[in-house]
Chain A
Amino acid sequence: MYCRKCYAKLDGATHIRACPQCLHGFDPADARTYLVRGFPSAWRIVGYVVATTVISIGGAFVVALFQMGIASGH
């Protein structure tokens, strides 16, 4: 079991039902409250990829504006 928030291992914390690192709560009986592996879920990875792409496109506009400024001599 791993923490959904900080990915810390929860094996030794089932009795306190909270992550020892970030105190994020979890229920050992409810698989939705923790991760089976110390890795983001598929949906979270998809979210990361989408967010990275969107942020990068925003960055691309800034870079393009900067390059246009250089091209026009400003």
Chain B
Amino acid sequence: MNLNLGCWIIAGLLRGGNVVKMLVLEDDEARRWRYRRYLLRLGLVALGMPIAFYFGPNWILFGKLTRLSVEDFVPIVQQEGVPIVRAMKEYERDTGRLPATLEDLQPRYLPAGFGNHRCISNGYFHLGTRDHEVEYEFKPGVEGWWVIGPFVSGAIPVPPVTIGPATRPISPVR
């Protein structure tokens, strides 16, 4: 059995048709159309697979067509993280220690009602978003923004928060 006949039989089985009739009836023109139909099916697969396995799940899970990346956390870090961490550092500069809760920062360093009250716990900043944890590492040398989660982990490309020297007299914070 040569390869061509094998292809015929497989094609016949796939079509559920009669292999013998195919062998007899198909000429060069019909064969060309058959190959074009295979190309069409290949095109449909090429259309469907990326939707089913890449673009679709990304859209459903993350609201965008491409996979989640550390860059996707930049907006929330800039909008919510930076003001809170800046306030934490100002608090530390003035008191010598990091705040234990978000309430320690309000209203002196942060407006009342800003941020999730659970984002600070004992000097540790973390923000839960998109099933991921955004953290700020205060240790010198590795200071910066990090994200940890099931779909992406790594450093977020936002520069570490810096604060200027105190511009008001240091006083104990209640």
Chain B contacts of A22 at CB under 8 A? 17
* Given A21-B21, A39-B33, A60:B51 Cβ within 8 A: yes
Q: Within the assembled complex, what's the spacing in Å between the Cα atoms of A12 and B26? A: 11
Q: Does A17 contact B (CB under 8 A)?
A: no
Q: Within the assembled complex, what's the spacing in Å between the Cα atoms of A8 and B30? A: 8
* Given A45-B40, A49-B47, A56:B25 Cβ within 8 A: no
- Which of B54-62, B107-115, B159-167 forms part of the interface with chain A? B54-62
Q: Within the assembled complex, what's the spacing in Å between the Cα atoms of A48 and B43? A: 10
Q: Within the assembled complex, what's the spacing in Å between the Cα atoms of A44 and B34? A: 16
Q: Which of B22-67 contact A (CB under 8 A)?
A: 22, 25-27, 29-30, 33-34, 36-37, 40, 44, 47-49, 51-53, 55-57, 59-61
Contact of A59 among B22, B44, B56 (CB under 8 A): B56
Report how many residues on chain A are interfacial, defined by Cβ distance under 8 Å.
Answer: 31
Contact of A53 among B26, B29, B51 (CB under 8 A): B51
Q: Within the assembled complex, what's the spacing in Å between the Cα atoms of A52 and B49? A: 9
A17 to chain B, nearest CB (A): 16
Q: Does B151 contact A (CB under 8 A)?
A: yes
Report how many residues on chain B are interfacial, defined by Cβ distance under 8 Å.
Answer: 32
| Interface SS of chain A | helix
A38 near B52 with CB under 8 A, answer no
B112 to chain A, nearest CB (A): 34
Q: Does B140 contact A (CB under 8 A)?
A: no
A-B contact pairs, 17 of them (CB 8 A): A2-B33, A20-B25, A38-B36, A48-B44, A49-B47, A53-B48, A55-B48, A57-B56, A60-B59, A60-B60, A61-B60, A64-B60, A64-B61, A67-B57, A71-B151, A72-B131, A72-B150
Q: Sorted from nearest, which 5 A-B pairs have the closest CB atoms? A: A60-B56, A38-B33, A59-B52, A71-B150, A56-B51
